[in-house]
Structure 1
C-alpha cells in the first residue's frame, strides 16, 4: 500500500484561496453591474413609454456597492430620485382634505422653480375667490389684468395675474378645480423589470467567470 504525506507551506492555502477569490469577486461584481445596467436601461424605457419626461426617466438610478471595488458580496441599489414615483408603480387613491385643488390646463405651471399650488398662488400673486357650482366641482379663481376694452390680455400668464393681484383693472379667471379624490393607476413596471434581471444573475455570473467559454 502506498502512502502519501502532504506538508503544507506557510501561506500556501491563503494564496490558493486568494487566487480563487479574485475571479469570483470579479464575476460577481460584473454580473451585478450588468444586471443593474439592464434595469436602468429598460426601466427608463418603461418610464418613457408611460409618457413621462426625460427628467423622470433619468431620475431612475442604480448604484453598485461597494463602489469602485470588486467583491463577492456586490449588491445593486435601484431607486428613483423623485420620492413619490412609487405611486406610479403601485397605483394609489389620493383624497383631499377636504378637496384636492388641481390646476386647470391654462394655468402657468410654476412660480419660479416651485410648482403652482393655491397656497403658493396666494403667497406670491394674490387672493383666490371660491366659485361654487351646483352639481359640478368648485373652482378657485384669480384676478387677471384686463386691457382698455375690458377683456383679458391674451393667455393666462404670470405677469397678467400679478398685475391683477396688485390692483390693476381685472376680471376673474378660473385657475383650480376642486375634486374629492383622484385615482392614479399603475403606469411603471420597474419591479417586474428588476425581477427579470435578477433571474438572469446566474447566467451573467457564469458569463463573466468564464469570458472565453
Structure 2
C-alpha cells in the first residue's frame, strides 16, 4: 500500500507578487482600452446625432468625452466623463419650456446671426455695436430696434436692404442718413422639442463595456 504523499510548491521569492502585478497591468490596459473605445464611440455617434438634428459643426464639437486617468496611464478603475460645453444644450435632449426673466429676446430672421464668432444677443449687441431701444406694439410682442446706416437711394426707396453688422455700426456711430430696424422680438417663453438622443447613445455604449473589455483583453 502506497503511503500518503504530500506536495508543496515553493515559488522563488517575489514570483507570486510579480505574476499578480503582471496580470494587474494586463487587466488595467484592457479596462482603459475599453473605456477609450466607449468614449470614442459616444463622442463620434453623439456629434453625428447633433449634426443630424440640423445643428452646426461648432455645436456638435461642443459634445465631449474625457477618459480618466489621463496621461497614458492605465487603471482597472478607468472612467469617462460625458458633457457638453454649451450650457443650454440639455434642453434639446429633454425638450421643455424656457422662460424669460422677464422676457426672452429672439433675433428676427433679418438680423445678423452672429457678431464675430458669438451668437447674436441683445447684451452682446449693446456691448459691441451700440444701443437698442424698445418698440411697444399694442396686442403684439415688443421689439428691440437699432439704427442702421442707409444710402440716399435706400432712403428714397424706403428699402433698407440687407442688415449687416457693419451697417449697424455705422448707424450707431452717428452722422449720415439712418433708419430704425427691428432686430429682436420679445416673448414670455419658448417651448423646444426633443432633438438629441445623447443619453441613449451613451447608455448603449456603456452596456457594451464588457464586450469592449474582452476585445481589448484578447489584444494583450
Is TM more than 0.5 here? yes
SS, match of residue 206 in structure 1: helix
* Alpha-carbon separation, structure 2, partners of 1:61 and 1:163: 40
- Worse overlay, 172-181 or 127-136: 127-136
SS of the residue aligned with 2:111?
coil
SS class of match (1:84): coil
Within the candidate set 154, 164, 182, 1:157 is matched to 164
CA distance in 2, matches of 1:120, 1:66: 38
Measure how far apart 1:34 and its partner are.
Answer: 0.9
Query: How far, CA to CA, are the matches of 1:35 and 1:124 in structure 2?
Result: 42
Q: For 1:4, what is the secondary structure of its paired residue?
A: coil
Paired residue for 1:184, among 187, 192, 208? Answer: 192
Q: Which runs of structure 1 show a deviation greater than 4 angstroms over 4 or more consecutive aligned residues?
A: none
Mapping 1:1-213, distance limit 5 Å: 1-67=4-70, 68-149=72-153, 150=155, 151-165=158-172, 166-211=174-219
- Which segment drifts farther, 160-169 or 135-144? 160-169
Contact residue 144 and residue 160 of structure 1 kept, 8 A: yes
Consecutive unaligned residues in structure 2, runs of 5 or more? none
Q: Which moved more, 1:86-95 or 1:11-20?
A: 86-95
Q: Secondary structure at the match of 1:83?
A: coil
- CA RMSD after TM alignment: 2.0
Asked if the contact 1:153–1:160 (Cα under 8 Å) also holds between the matched residues in 2, the reply is no
CA drift at 1:16: 1.7
Offset, 1:152: 4.4
| Structure 1 contact 40–61 (Cα < 8 Å) conserved | yes
Q: Distance in 2 between matches of 1:126 and 1:202?
A: 57
SS at match of 1:85: coil
Offset of 1:85 from its aligned partner?
1.7
Alpha-carbon distance between aligned partners in 1 of 2:13 and 2:212, rounded to the nearest angstrom: 36
SS at match of 2:89: helix
**In the aligned structure 2, how far is the partner of 1:141 from the partner of 1:62?**
41
Q: TM-score, normalised by structure 2?
A: 0.86
Q: How many residues align?
A: 212
In 2, distance between residues paired with 1:126 and 1:59?
Answer: 30
TM value normalised by structure 1: 0.89
SS at structure 2 position matched to 1:209: helix
Q: C-alpha separation between the residues in 2 aligned to 1:173 and 1:110? A: 17
Is the CA contact (8 Å cut-off) linking 1:144 and 1:152 kept in structure 2? no
**C-alpha distance in 1 between matches for 2:45 and 2:184:** 36
For the structure 1 residues 125 and 167, does the alpha-carbon distance in structure 2 shift closer, same or farther, using more than 3 Å as the test?
farther
Cα distance per residue 1:111-131 (max 9 Å; x no partner):
344433223333444433322
